[in-house]
Amino acid sequence: MVVSAFDIILCLTLVWLAWHILTSPDHFKAVVLFISFGLLMALAWVRLQAPDVALAEAAIGSGLTGALFLSALRRMASVRRGERRLDRAEERYDDG
């Protein structure tokens, strides 16, 4: 197996992204970097001739997990602002 310059750059970029994800003080930036890390990791799996793993990484690692992280960030921001969401049980009691 021949290692090309593209593969070396891809590996170094993955390590750089991982480091910045772990050390980022901004949560939104960390989530965006995580999504980009997952997409580049999917590309790495394609380069390793594992397209099934690449599809799973892109769909689950970047897509689904990234969306869940963004949803959690939005929820954390609303809790920080002091907004309160009514639960369904509370909604029933407020009606009457």
- Residue-wise pLDDT for 13-42, tens only, equals 999 999 999 999 999 999 999 999 999 999
Domain count, the chain: 1
Residues in the chain: 96
Query: With 60 as the cut, is the pLDDT of residue 96 above it?
Result: no
Domain that holds residue 73: 27-94
83: alpha, beta or left, given left = phi > 0 and alpha = psi -120 to 50? Answer: beta
Examine residue 54 and state whether it is found in any structural domain, yes or no. yes
Examine residue 56 and state whether it is found in any structural domain, yes or no. yes
Examine residue 16 and state whether it is found in any structural domain, yes or no. no
Confidence (pLDDT) at 37: 96
- Spatial separation of the C-alpha atoms in residues 30 and 50, rounded to whole Å: 27
Confidence (pLDDT) at 81: 73
Examine residue 13 and state whether it is found in any structural domain, yes or no. no
Q: Are 86 and 94 in contact (CB under 8 A)?
A: yes
Interval 57-86: pLDDT, tens: 999 988 999 999 999 999 888 877 776 666
